[in-house]
Amino acid sequence: MWRHVAANAFTFLIVGLFLVGGLIVWGKGQYDEPGPLSQAICVQVPSGSNMRRVSQNLADQGAVSSASIFRIGADYEDKTGSLKAGSFLIEPEVSMKEIVDVITRGGASTCGTEIVYRVGVTRVSVQVRELDPATNRFAELAQFDQGAEEVPAAYTETRDKADVRFRVAVAEGVTSWQVVNALSGMDIMEGDVAETPAEGSLAPDSYEVRKGDDRMALITRMQAAQETLLAAAWEARDEDLPINSPEELLILASIVEKETGVAEERRQVASVFVNRLNQGMRLQTDPTVIYGITNGEGVLGRGLRRSELRGETAYNTYVIPALPPTPIANPGRASLMAAAQPDETPYIFFVADGTGGHAFAVSLDDHNRNVAEWRKIEAERGAAAAGNASTGGD
């Protein structure tokens, strides 16, 4: 009898082990296989949340088939304690395993509502926008100039939410003074910047920040990023450049940055200045003259006067036969690389061509013809603008 009972018990044990093993295999399949989500969603993980709440939220939104299996899988991978706060875009049909990786990996949030402070050459604007997970496009909720007398309610309401993201987007070609001035007007940041950083030392880029972050800490991040970019460009530079130091490369890149906003032209523009330096010619570039007048503190807002083009200043490249003493703006990666690896061209002249780009020339005669064509375009545009003004047209 006891032998029969033992045999039955052993049989039940074997069956149980098979059932448990089958359950584990099934659960792992559920964890690793594509999930049931049919449309992308944005999952918000508040600070202080836990895996139980997040798993239930995911189950409620149809992103996972089982909150329990999701938690067991996260525990098994030892990732439960690595949950990160933020807003995360969950794509359709991603597995539980992939979702666990997304919400524990950390880094910048990938969806939700964000406020972007855009530091541009002519203005600083503030944009409030929200990502629509279904289309992966941002919907703008508000936009206004920093310092405006009336601030949209959408901004103040969004700014004080716990899960909102903040970014400072610095455009290529802004000056260090413009960056510091813009940061000083951002009400989410704290601390002072006692001294304007050296011109050219701040990397234009998009920086994620948090409410209460120190302004000087962000400046330090920008400086470290620019040091890295400059070192890489200097390392990759052409051997025959008439440039003797990383600082001179930075100066040349800043001039290229201010001379063209057309990405495809940067290396051509750089080639003109390199050719001029090689031939001992003056660079004769307006942006350096303007910097000598403004010191990088704002926009000139008018054309240059003849007296200013003749004035002997350290930045007047119509007078000095070399690079100016410092950069005239903060160049981005593309302009740094254009200065380090310019195109090989015979060009020594260029002028605007009316399309946003430039017409390049080898001889002065060709250049003068290009200038005449540009003056004609300017005159036609001026006449059209005057005609619109007189008739009340837009």
What does the pLDDT read at residue 267? 94
How far is 288 from 309, CA to CA, in rounded Å? 10
Kindly report, residue by residue over 337-352, the tens digit of the pLDDT. Answer: 999 999 999 999 888 8
Inter-residue contact 254 to 285 (CB < 8 Å): no
Q: Tell me the β-bridge partners of 114.
A: 129, 165
What does the pLDDT read at residue 389? 52
CA distances from 154 to 58, 114, 126, 145, 212 (A): 28, 11, 11, 14, 20
Range 4-25 burial, b when 16+ CB lie within 10 A, else e: eeeeeeeeeeeeeeeeeeeeee
Of residues 298 and 122, more confidence is placed in 122
Kindly report, residue by residue over 141-191, the tens digit of the pLDDT. Answer: 889 999 888 899 989 988 888 778 899 999 999 999 999 999 999 999 999
What does the pLDDT read at residue 27? 55
Question: What is the model's pTM?
Answer: 0.77
Where do the domains of the chain lie, and which CATH numbers do they carry? 29-105 (3.30.1490.480), 113-230 (no CATH), 238-379 (no CATH)
| Residues in CB range of 18: below 8 A, 6 or more apart | none
What's the chain's average pLDDT? 85
